[in-house]
A and B are shown apart, each in its own frame.
Chain A
Amino acid sequence: MKATHLLQAVARRVAAAAAVLLGAATVAFAALQLIPGDPVTTMLGPFSSATPEVRDRIRAQYGLGEPVGQQYLHYLGHLLRGDLGQSYQVQRPVGSLIGDQLGPTAQLALAALALALLLALVSAVATAGRRPVLRGAASLLELLTVSSPSYWTGILLLTAFSFHWQLFPVAGAQNGTSLVLPALTLALPMTGVLAQVLREGLETALHEPFAVTARSRGLSSTAVRLRHALRHAALPLVTLTGWLAGSLLGGAVLVETVFGRPGIGALILQATTNKDMPLVIGLVLLSALVFVVLSTLVDLLYLVIDPRLRTDQVTP
């Protein structure tokens, strides 16, 4: 791969990422403008006893009296300087608010991702192309995990492993054991989807001529699966994982609420119910950033997994 090509590819990536972020910021701004009602009233709640003077003061403080176009330009200007603004409710910089809460959520999402991949791999490799009963049972279980709402799964797990057997603490992020149940709750639906797709891929690959050749050379069934079929089946899995990993952020909101864990979840809930605009936009940008980073990672992983893509021609 030539250096200029690589540079071009990187530049294209960065430009695309910037466009996505700008788009996300604009859509978020527009959406918040379209929500009916006075933002100050929404912020304070329907029955607030704040005096009209306090309301005016708040309105002035956040420039809410200015024309929308001017507010938008102001906001973009601040954004370019890396300033996400101050939260209306907490009176603290949005950047530091999100930064403080990012750790526990990242921990939860990564643990869930690892767990989902592991469980999906085990389930798919063990059952692909096996006896229909075994395969069907695994498939049914996966379908169940996909179709159960995660808060319900969470409460079910809590009832069994925290309230009844008391193996894990109900909530919080004090230590490793408190991560197990939330991570499992978040991982289960993802496991279901991934395992189904991976099994399909494995079964297709196992019927390919190269699999038959490998078998005829005397390789064991498991070795064929792990060394040959898995690599073929992995491509769609990587794409899907990229997508689903992005959605883990949204899933974490629910799971964190159920388990009373610190993280972005509490922040998102609070920001949206209180119409805390700077915070909402900051969070939208965060999730856009996560998706951009993930899709870049996915593209890179393609190159690692599939040697056919490693040519001079850089894939667009």
Chain B
Amino acid sequence: MSRLSRRPVPLVAATAAVLLAAACGSGSGSGGSTSSTPVSGGSLTYAVDTEPVSWDIDVSQQDITGSIQRNVFDSLVFQDDKGQFHPWLASSWTVAKDLRTYTFHLRKGVTFTDGTPFNAQAVKTNFDRIVDPATTSQYAAGLLGPYSGTKVVDAYTVEVSFTKAFAPFLQAASTPYLGFYSPAAIAKYGSKLGAGGPADVGTGPFVFSSYTKGQSAVLTRNPKYDWAPATDSHQGPAYLDKLTYRFLSQDSVRVGALRSGQVQVAKSVPPADVKTLTPGSGLTVISKQAPGGVYNLVLNASRGPFTDQRVREAVQRGINVDADVKSVYFGAYQRAWSPLSPATAGYDSALTGTWPYDPKLADRLLDQAGWTARDSSGYRTKDGKRLSLVWPLMPQNLVSQQHDILGQAVQADLKKLGIQVERPRQDVGTFVKQLFGGKDDISDYSWARADPDVLRLYFNSAETPAKGGANGTFIKDADLDAWTEQGQTTLDPAARATFYTQVQKRAVDLSLVVPMYVVSSVYGASTHAHGITADANTWLEFHDAWLGK
């Protein structure tokens, strides 16, 4: 079984994820004007909120590892923010009809920064290292799915094979987690690659010069770089001499450092600060909607009151999503109508407005479901049992984006309908055990991934959380299973769109989820920093970045 899950956002870098309504839309802004000519040179400092645990792209499952190492490692193909694939280290490729073999013709003349050539053997060495159990890959091995092997056809041609049809491979191959280490570095450093620094040798526009734990990672320009994707606005080496990542976990410190000019770019700008970053202050906002699953409340249809679809629908229609999202995120958030983000191919915009807030309908549905009596606290009861739902809170250090506050608003909405929502605070161990065991009524998460196949993780009955999936609904629906599997076996965008549109509609019709808001990444940047764009993962790209006056 293929597992292409990206870690869901609650655990990943806590993107403040609020954007001004005006700044909405999946297009990305860029610091400063574009009329001036880029200049080479200068040093840019970028303040990020989390720090890699392991720097090894073959091992790590962290967003921060992938986003920083993106500068150091190139991939076979490049995925633009519309989901299209472009040549990168592979100048062309063919996919067998059965989707089990991918043949890549590699670009010639590419060298690693240690001087060794990038070739077919390098691809094989890297992919074989990922699936080697000794690597204990937490994520990249999942991206390779049913991998069976890589064949070196000639010096610049490789055949990557799978034991069964594997449509998501191109998308997987575009991620930094399937980037390429110099085989010489792998031989020399092996498991020490996770420590970061100069041992991490790739082909990318930057070289990993040094790493100081708890403080910074310094990347310097790769002067030989000449193989950027054609979609970049320039070819040749990066403009910046030096790119420094500073690890500043406190929101106020990151924003303060940006305002005082000590860093030029800051990640995860908190909602309250977004409006104050104006060109007048020499600062600007770069925002980008994340593809994949939006922030959903996931309703567990396998236990308790939620086995009755009417109760699920009552909850879906009885939550005032518009008002809740608006009040918690300063009225600047885009509420969601589909479990899939608008920034993902196959998004069904027809769902917009189809399930508005309707407390009267919710009341009727609950009456019909037999929850007619009320107890002394005003909660509905049936056969003497209170209508009570369990929605555990994650450990405080894992709560991000004020999800606990948003949860209080939801709790209040449901209380008005006579539904009690319990929110016990759990440690990670208990939380995971309950969730994996399907013992919660409600769970909440988003799941960033640049492919609608993410819907399979949410709604296919085989993808339970215990198996690495995201199906907290625990639904077993023949249609949802069939469509999500069919979507995986074709590369035809129109056919896939049909399947995934049906999936989104059915998931909303069955009231399996309450989509809340579209997760976005919000960055603050100095107006002197130009050419910075966010990629399909909402990560910032620095190959085209330059510093103006």
- Where the two chains meet, the residues of A that have a C-beta atom closer than 8 Å to any C-beta of B are 35-38, 41-42, 44-51, 53-54, 57-58, 61, 89-92, 100-101, 104, 151, 155, 158-159, 162-164, 166, 169-173, 256-263, 265-267, 270, 273-275
B250 partner, pick from A53, A164, A258, A274, beta carbons under 8 A: A258
Q: Known contacts being A256-B214, A257-B250, is A50 close to B61, with CB within 8 Å?
A: yes
B195 x A170 contact (CB < 8 A): no
Asked whether A158 lies within 8 Å of B253 as measured between CB atoms, the reply is yes
Which B-chain residue is minimally distant from A155 (CB atoms)?
B252
Residue B262, interface by CB 8 Å: yes
For B263, list chain A residues within 8 Å (CB): 170
Is B271's CB within 8 Å of the partner chain A?
no
Q: A48, B250: Cβ atoms under 8 Å?
A: no
Say yes or no: A173 contacts B262, CB within 8 Å. no
CB of A155 to closest CB in B, whole Å: 5
Contact check, A162 vs B397: say whether CB atoms are below 8 A apart. no
The reply to whether A171 and B215 contact each other, CB–CB distance below 8 Å, is yes
Q: What 7 additional pairs, Cβ within 8 angstroms, besides A46-B431, A47-B470, A50-B136?
A: A90-B54, A151-B250, A163-B260, A171-B257, A259-B253, A260-B216, A260-B247
Give the residue of B137, B262, B468 whose beta carbon is less than 8 angstroms from that of A162.
Answer: B262
**Are B61 and A163 in contact, with the CB atoms below 8 A?**
no
Cβ-defined partner of B253 (8 Å) among A42, A48, A164, A171: A171
A258→B262 contact, CB < 8 A: no
Chain A residues near B246: list those with CB within 8 A.
Answer: 171-172, 260
- Please give, as numbers and ranges, the residues of chain B lying within 8 Å of A49 by CB-CB distance: 3-5, 7, 61, 138-139, 142, 468
Q: Is B8 an interface residue (CB 8 A)?
A: yes
Residue of B nearest to A56 (CB): B133
Flag if B429 contacts A42 (CB, 8 Å): yes
- Bound complex: CA of A6 vs CA of B136, how far in Å? 53
Interface string of B259-281 (1 = CB under 8 A from A): 11111000000000000000000
Question: How far, in angstroms, from A134 to B142 measured CA to CA in the complex?
Answer: 68
Instruction: Verify B214–A267 contact, CB threshold 8 A.
Output: yes
B290 → chain A closest CB, angstroms: 15
Contact A170 B257 (CB under 8 A): yes
- Residue contact A170 to B262, C-beta cutoff 8 Å: yes
B528-541 Cβ-contact flags toward A at 8 Å (1 or 0): 00000000000000
A89 touches B427 (CB 8 A): no
Rounded to whole Å, the gap between the CB of B16 and the closest CB of chain A is 17
Q: Are B61 and A169 in contact (CB under 8 A)?
A: no
Of A46, A101, A166, the residue contacting B432 (CB under 8 A) is A46
Can you offer 28 A-B residue contacts whose CB atoms are under 8 A? A37-B429, A37-B432, A37-B433, A44-B61, A45-B61, A45-B428, A46-B398, A46-B428, A47-B8, A47-B445, A50-B136, A50-B468, A51-B141, A57-B133, A61-B136, A89-B53, A90-B54, A90-B194, A100-B213, A101-B214, A170-B248, A172-B216, A173-B215, A257-B249, A258-B253, A260-B247, A270-B53, A273-B397
Alpha-carbon separation in the docked complex, A116 to B246 (Å): 29
Residue of B nearest to A257 (CB): B249
Interfacial chain B residues near A270, Cβ < 8 Å: 51, 53
| B212 interface contact, C-beta 8 A | yes
User: Smallest CB–CB gap between A302 and chain B, Å?
Assistant: 36
- B427 close to A163 (CB less than 8 A): no
- Chain B 1-19 against A: per-residue CB contact (8 Å), 1 yes, 0 no? 0011101101100000000
Chain B residues 212 to 270 lying within 8 A of chain A, measured CB to CB, are: 212-216, 246-250, 252-253, 256-257, 259-263
The answer to whether residues A267 and B138 also contact, given A41-B432, A170-B260 and a CB cut-off of 8 A, is no
In the complex, which residues of chain B have a beta carbon less than 8 angstroms from the beta carbon of A50? 61, 136-139, 142, 468
Q: A42-B429, A48-B61, A171-B248 are in contact. Are A163 and B259 (CB under 8 A)?
A: yes
Q: Which residues of B (131-168) have their CB < 8 Å from a CB of A?
A: 133, 136-139, 141-142
Residue picked from A50, A58, A166, most chain B C-beta under 10 Å: A50
Interface set, chain B 430-456, CB cutoff 8 A to A: 430-433, 435, 445
**B residues less than 8 Å from A162 (CB atoms):** 256-257, 260, 262
Give every chain B residue within 8 A of A256 (Cβ-Cβ). Answer: 214
Interface: B117 (CB within 8 A): no
**Structural contact, A91 and B194, CB atoms closer than 8 A:** yes
Between A36, A53, A260, the greatest number of chain B beta carbons within 10 A of the residue's beta carbon is seen for A260
- The residues of B that contact A47 with a CB separation of less than 8 Å are 5, 7-8, 10-11, 445, 465, 470
Does chain A have a CB within 8 A of B191?
A: yes
Near A by CB (< 8 A), chain B positions 290-320 give none
B7 CB contacts on chain A under 8 angstroms: 45, 47-49
The chain B residue with its CB closest to the CB of A165 is B260
Q: Is the CB of B136 within 8 A of A54?
A: yes
Give Cα distance in the complex from A90 to B65, angstroms: 13
Residues in chain B near residue A90, CB distance under 8 A = 53-54, 194-195
Chain A residues contacting B429 (CB-CB under 8 Å) are 35-38, 41-42
Name the 5 nearest CB pairs between A and B, nearest first.
A37-B429, A266-B214, A36-B429, A163-B256, A262-B214
Query: Closest A-chain residue to B135, C-beta based?
Result: A54
Chain A contacts for B8, CB-based, 8 A: 47
B136 touches A261 (CB 8 A): no
Q: Is the CB of B260 within 8 A of A166?
A: yes
Docked Cα-Cα span, A260 to B250, in Å, equals 9
B192 within 8 A of A: yes
Chain A residues with CB below 8 A from B427, complex form: 35-37
Task: Return B47 CB to nearest CB of chain A, in Å.
Answer: 8
How distant is the Cα of A54 from the Cα of B54 in the complex, in angstroms?
16
Taking a contact as CB atoms under 8 Å apart, the answer to whether A163 and B257 are in contact is yes
Q: How far is the CA of A151 from the CA of B248 in the complex (A)?
A: 13
| Closest Cβ–Cβ distance, residue B52 to chain A (whole Å) | 10
How distant is the Cα of A225 from the Cα of B482 in the complex, in angstroms? 87
- Residue in chain A with minimal CB distance to B255: A163
Contact A155 B11 (CB under 8 A): no
Q: Does the CB pair B133–A54 fall under 8 Å?
A: yes
Can you name the residue of chain B whose Cβ is closest to the Cβ of A58?
Answer: B136
Give the complex CA separation of A270 and B142 in angstroms. Answer: 24
Contact (Cβ within 8 A) A260 B253: yes
A275: which B residues are within 8 A, CB to CB?
Answer: 428
The answer to whether A54 touches B138 (Cβ under 8 A) is yes
Q: Name the one of A37, A54, A158, A263 contacting B256, with C-beta atoms under 8 angstroms.
A: A158
**What residue of chain A has the Cβ atom nearest to residue B56's Cβ?**
A91
A66 to B281, CA, bound (A): 60
Q: Report the minimum CB–CB distance from B189 to chain A (whole Å).
A: 11
A57 to B59, alpha carbons, bound, how many Å? 14
CA distance A61 to B137 in the complex (A): 14
C-alpha gap A164/B256 in the complex (Å): 9
Contacts of B213 in A (CB 8 A): 100-101, 262, 266-267
Chain A residue nearest to B249 in the complex (CB): A257
Q: Please name the residue on chain A nearest to B138 by beta carbon.
A: A50
Tell me the smallest distance from the CB of A174 to a CB of chain B, in Å. Answer: 9
Provide the bound-state CA to CA distance between A292 and B248, in Å: 33
Residues of B within 8 A of A171 (CB): 215, 246, 248, 253, 257
